[in-house]
Amino acid sequence: MKKLSTFLVLLLCLINLGAIPAVYGQAPATLPYSQDFNTTNDFTLLNGTQTNKWVYGAFTGNTGSSIYVSNDNGISNAYTINSSSTVQAYRDFTIPVGSTIANFSFDWKSGGESTWDYIKVWVVPATFTPTPGTQISAGTGRTQLAQLNLQSTWQNYSLPNLNVAPYAGNTMRLVFEWRNDGTGGTQPAIAIDNINISIPTCIMPSGMTASAIGATTATLSWTAPSPVPGNGYEYYLSTTNTAPVAATTGISNAGTTVTPTLAPVTTYFWWVRSICSGTDKSVWMAGPSFTTTQIPTTVPYTQDFSTGNDLQLNNGTQTNKWFYGTALGNPANSLYISNDNGVSNAYSIGSSSVVQAYRDIAIPVGTTDAALSFDWKAEGESSWDYLRVWLVPTSFVPTPGTQIGTGGGRIQVGGNFNQQTTWQNYLNTSLNLSSFAGQTMRLVFEWRNDGSGGTQPPAAIDNINLSIPTCKVPSALAVSNVTTTTATINWTAPTPIPVGGYQYYLTTTNVSPIATTAPTGSSATTTALLSSLTPNTTYYFWVRSVCVASDKSFWVAGPSFTTPQIPTTIPYYQDFSTNNDLGFTGSTTQTNKWFYGNATGNPARSIYISNDNGTTNAYTTSASSVVHAYRDITVPTGTTNVTFSFDWKAQGEGSWDYLRVWLVPVTFMPTAGTQITTGAGRIQIGTNYNQQDTWQSYLNPNLNISSFAGQTMRLVFEWRNDGTGGNQPPAAIDNIKLRICSTATPTVTVATPTHNSVVLTWPQDNGGASYTIRYRPVGSTTWLMANIAAAPFPTPTNTTTLTNLLSATQYEVEVAAVCNGTLGVFSHNEFLTRCDPTPPNVTISNITTTSALVTWSPLAASSHYYLRYRIVGSGPTGWNIPNITLPAAPANTYTLTNLNVYTTYEVQIANMCDNETTLNTWSNPKVFTTERTCDIAPPGLTITNLTTTTAVVTWDPFPGATYILRYRKVGIPSWTNIPSSTNTVTLTGLTELTQYEMQVVNICNGTPGTYTQPYIFTTPTVVYCQMESTISSSEYISKVTMTPNGKPEMVNESQASNYSDYTGVPVKFIELIQGSSNNKITIDKKLSGNANAGVAVWIDFNRNGYFDINERIFVAPSNNEQTVSGTFSVPADAFISMTDYKYVVMRVAMQKDGIPVNCTSFPTGEVEDYTVRISKPAIPNSVNQNDILIFPNPVKTILNVKNISKKANYKIYNTAGQVVSSGIILNNKIDVHNLINGVYIIDIEDAQGTTQKKFIKE
């Protein structure tokens, strides 16, 4: 039975893995056959010991389940790329006798790797069994149908004419073989789904061809199958490569040839199928796609792409293709290379491509010269990535992937077009078309890139114009005699000379005019003078011939030119905050150019190198550039040294990408693309500036420019990069300063002096002179010196503050400019410092009951003093009015008289400078109190030490006096008087938690003075010392058991705690009897391992707040016993708890490795506090229960009276004998809650007599 169970389990596992066909062998499937794997698998999976195996599962499918290769038993469709594997999945089929072809299809997806990781599909004889680990090779009867990979989404493979003739009447084996090599690869591995094989009853046609392709027609033909279909054929024509399905209706055709009407310049896809009957049709068979030719356009030909494109795009399967779109244009749409279907004008530099765009043009008979122009731009890469333009016969059809070569009537126009990121214009006005006269010519734009390196963007084309001009263009355009506001342009006349002369167009932007553009001016000769130009401005001009009003030539571009600057003067400052006045070279020819903007600055704007028209301070490291920023500056006659500075930053690259600074004659104009070299009159400033990506400052305070004295000098900032590598950012320049300092004597302004300082101000030399200052008291022979740096530009003034001057002193001060070490002539000014306004120090002495002596110091020269005083707290109106004028120096005392007895005053003193009318700052208030007389209540009454039953009282003494201190409980009318000869008294016998009031009075000559105001205080309750352990987690008190003699037992079990306070937990209260013995205390200890711990227990029997040594009721030495116990007695005089709160405290302490000491904390163990209430021992009741009785006693609110009639009266007396309450006793109850705490006598009068009882009010 056990063996049978094992077999059944194994069988179920094999079924689940789809391995049953391999175990038992397959029964060949019959046709038609369809397998979508959604319910079962009938393929045999040959995996052997390979790492990556075929599995049947639901991880992937199209849709549902599938068979797929997996490295984790089907959890995923992934393979181990570093472990080589070869595995097969196969199915056997019975091929009917007489069969020739079959329709075969399946869905698949696979990552893999090029020619290393892939799926192969085979048909082999059933006698051939593949071997895991070994690839199938060619052999007798073995046919490879496909090798597939590199598609991560589901694809469909279809073979409508699978040759099954070799297997007719036999068994054919279909094999899917996965192979990976173990080095690299891309997920996923192979997956197979939706396999279909059938023997068609209607055979499909074959041998599809497309021929005689014209602009609107083409001949489509095919070979008839055998047998020929009874109902002919259907063909399906489309401009998209989406195959028709079985239900798609085609166009019927009886024969094997058809010539449809087509659209020019259109790519077509087509399919054909046999029609055997209305219900029996073959599968669709695809013919080769084809593109119709163009209908040649005529001359003149213009294409600006604003409304469409008529060029044929010959892209094939290339990665980088021609597209017509809106990604760019000059100005709007254009034709351009794109790697993202026209979204952008960009190319994949790692993928080589050759593609063409062309237009067929009919050239008139007799044509010789023509004019061709187009706009273009392309960066590309040197001699590897570029645009070429060709003229070829229409018999030559360009091939994608293959460059056009010379020969066979092919003419290249221009050279290789690249290295330009902005729109350029190509114009050839003498293009020889004689070889195409009377024929159709093909104009071809060909882009080529090599697949290794390159710079964006690739080629773009716009504004194509081809014409046979009747009015010839001028040539050899030139410009001369350029000044700040004028220039002369000239050209060479064509032949024949135009009757109407010439027109020219001038602009500051490089946008070509079109035929309808209005000219700027005209000239009857080959020269024109341009006037009213703007200095330091780049101009562009074009010229055209005017044969007659209706016949004008093309516009022909001349060389751009830049008007010179109007030289600036020294000093020259440029921080670029509002504008830029430097000229730039290379704006049209160089990739990396100078721009003025806010991409960077120190702090805001600057001039900087940019490859994106100033948007960023970045450069194209692969495009070499040399560009200049310059400013012309007039240097005064006689100039030698100047101060020159600027801020800069540039990272660049070593000795290849850097900034240089030059001074050159104005006759030397830098040329973009060419570095400045040493030569006549050229001076390089500093070295190569780079390797700094944060702002740096260059300063030369003594730059010799004497060689330019009396002339105009050109300051040049030159950026150069070599086109191979580099680091961002390129150069940026800010805060240029060129100054010539002066030693002219400054005009100094002296501000109002203070007592120890003065501010001096003078105009700052805009050439950057520094200054020397000297000053001294008038009459002194020694100068004090100071050097002052030049104020930063553009600050118009310089200033300094002289400090530590003497007060009330006449000074002289002089200032001189310093220029290049030369000291100019000193100025001269004098000033007088003020008196010292510092408030004096004030002292008070000789204080009596009505007077005080005021003293102040130090005394400031050239000033006089005032005093004011007031009673402290009297506010702003309390000051004496007017201020008291104090005696002149050297006097410095003043006596205040007529002051109030024992009153606190404040005094302030301020000075006023002589010859001024405003007081200086008042001194800080000096506070004093006049002496008191004996009859005034003593001040300073306070308590220095307060306990539950005592208070130490003190007050300020009075000479020769004795004292009476009186005190009482608050609410009691009578006082307790204590005479004293000293100012300290100790009150004893006070009651805990009771409010008292006290007063004290002086006794002088036997007569009391005035008592102090009542001083109220409350006695505290008992407070015990703090005691606890640091750690209690392993050793602590687990249970305390108190078994009193005559009272209930208290048991408290607890967990670890450093300190536990149970004094406020009523269920943990302990009751003891005064004078009792044999009371038992038991302590359970929680100890870890063999730890030892000692125990000590105290009870504060006398309730004095201390655990005295004689109050330790139990002690146990340090041992490892878990439970310790002992007995103790309660003293006969132990404190009796008469109220709810006047209890005593028991403290239980356990200490590891020691015996606890009172009020001393310890490292390990626990401390617990408990409330203990001690009562008197019970005595026989000697009270006559028939007498008048009161209870409870003590009482808080309601006093109950027993054994009285309904007409009983009462009177309650305090300890002073005063009646505090009286009335009739109602319902045997008297409400005493309004009485203050204390002892009272109640007198009860009833019909049976009178009785008196004492009670305590709590």
The per-residue pLDDT for range 396-440, each reduced to its tens digit, is 989 999 999 999 999 999 999 999 988 998 989 889 999 999 999
Q: How far is it, in rounded angstroms, from Cα 939 to Cα 1012?
A: 8
Q: Is the model's pLDDT at 545 over the cut of 90?
A: yes
Report percent pLDDT > 90 for the chain.
80
Summarize the confidence of residues 599-613 as an average pLDDT: 96
Amino acid at 622: S
Identify which has the larger pLDDT, 912 or 158.
912
Contact indicator for 370, 391 with CB cutoff of 8 Å = no
Q: Is the model's pLDDT at 13 over the cut of 70?
A: no
The CA distances from residue 1225 to 142, 722, 1203, 1235, 1251, in Å, are: 130, 121, 12, 17, 14
Q: How far is it, in rounded angstroms, from Cα 291 to Cα 215?
A: 9
Map out the domains of the chain with their CATH numbers. 21-198 (2.60.120.200), 206-291 (2.60.40.10), 297-467 (2.60.120.200), 475-562 (2.60.40.10), 568-739 (2.60.120.200), 749-832 (2.60.40.10), 841-929 (2.60.40.10), 942-1018 (2.60.40.10), 1029-1175 (2.60.40.2950), 1189-1257 (2.60.40.10)
Residue 604 has a CB neighbour count (10 Å cut-off) of 11
Q: What is the 3-state secondary structure (H, E, C) of 480-532?
A: ECCCCCCEEEEEECCCCCCCCCEEEEEECCCCCCCCCCCCCEEECCCEEEECC
Contact indicator for 263, 233 with CB cutoff of 8 Å = no
Q: What would the pLDDT profile of 19-37 be if each residue is shown by its tens digit?
A: 334 434 689 999 999 999 9
Summarize the confidence of residues 1064-1085 as an average pLDDT: 95
Structure-token match 């006082």, residue found: 975
Burial class from Cβ neighbours inside 10 Å (0-12, 13-18, 19+) for residue 921 reads: exposed
Q: Is the model's pLDDT at 380 over the cut of 60?
A: yes
Burial 18-41 (b: 16+ CB within 10 A, else e): bbbbbeeebeebebebebbbeeeb
Q: Of 443, 448, 418, give the one whose Cα is nearest residue 428.
A: 443
At 652, is the pLDDT very low, low, confident or very high (cuts 50, 70, 90)? very high
Residue 843 tokens, joined = 């002292």
Residue 566 tokens, joined = 């109007």
Q: Is the model's pLDDT at 7 over the cut of 90?
A: no
Report percent pLDDT > 70 for the chain.
97
Q: How far is it, in rounded angstroms, from Cα 1230 to Cα 771?
A: 102
Q: How far is it, in rounded angstroms, from Cα 1210 to Cα 940?
A: 45
Whole-number CA gyration radius for the chain: 59
Q: How far is it, in rounded angstroms, from Cα 347 to Cα 1205?
A: 122
Residue 968 has a CB neighbour count (10 Å cut-off) of 17
What does the DSSP assignment read for 360-377? EEEPPTT--EEEEEEEEE
Q: How far is it, in rounded angstroms, from Cα 327 to Cα 721?
A: 30
Q: What would the pLDDT profile of 291-341 be if each residue is shown by its tens digit?
A: 898 999 999 999 999 999 999 999 988 999 999 999 999 989 999 999 999
Q: How far is it, in rounded angstroms, from Cα 68 to Cα 110?
A: 10
Q: How far is it, in rounded angstroms, from Cα 695 to Cα 734?
A: 9
Burial 830-865 (b: 16+ CB within 10 A, else e): ebebbbbbebbebebeebeeeebebbbeebbebbbb
Q: Is the model's pLDDT at 162 over the cut of 70?
A: yes
Which H helix or E strand runs over 155? strand 151-163
Summarize the confidence of residues 73-79 as an average pLDDT: 96
The whole-chain average pLDDT of the chain stands at 93
At 821, is the pLDDT very low, low, confident or very high (cuts 50, 70, 90)? confident
Backbone angles phi, psi at 743, to 5 degrees: -100, 20
Structure-token match 């100005």, residue found: 331
Backbone angles phi, psi at 104, to 5 degrees: -130, 130
Find the range with the poorest average confidence among 706-710, 828-832, 1204-1208. Answer: 1204-1208
Q: What would the pLDDT profile of 187-215 be if each residue is shown by its tens digit?
A: 999 999 999 999 999 999 989 999 999 88
Residue 1247 tokens, joined = 């019909």
Per-residue model confidence (pLDDT) at position 452: 87
Q: What would the pLDDT profile of 914-961 be if each residue is shown by its tens digit?
A: 989 999 999 999 999 999 999 999 999 999 999 888 999 999 999 999
Q: Is the model's pLDDT at 1180 over the cut of 70?
A: no
Burial 284-294 (b: 16+ CB within 10 A, else e): bbbbeebbbbb
At 512, is the pLDDT very low, low, confident or very high (cuts 50, 70, 90)? confident
Q: Is the model's pLDDT at 164 over the cut of 50?
A: yes
Q: How far is it, in rounded angstroms, from Cα 258 to Cα 221?
A: 6
Which residues, in sequence order, are CB contacts of 1015 under 8 Å at separation 6+?
941, 942, 943, 997, 998, 999
Q: How far is it, in rounded angstroms, from Cα 843 to Cα 857?
A: 9
Residue 315 tokens, joined = 């892209």
Does the pTM exceed 0.85? no
Q: Residue 3 carries which DSSP code?
A: H
656: left (phi over 0), alpha (psi -120 to 50) or beta: alpha
Q: What would the pLDDT profile of 874-894 be if each residue is shown by its tens digit?
A: 999 999 999 999 999 999 999
Identify which has the larger pLDDT, 1176 or 7.
1176
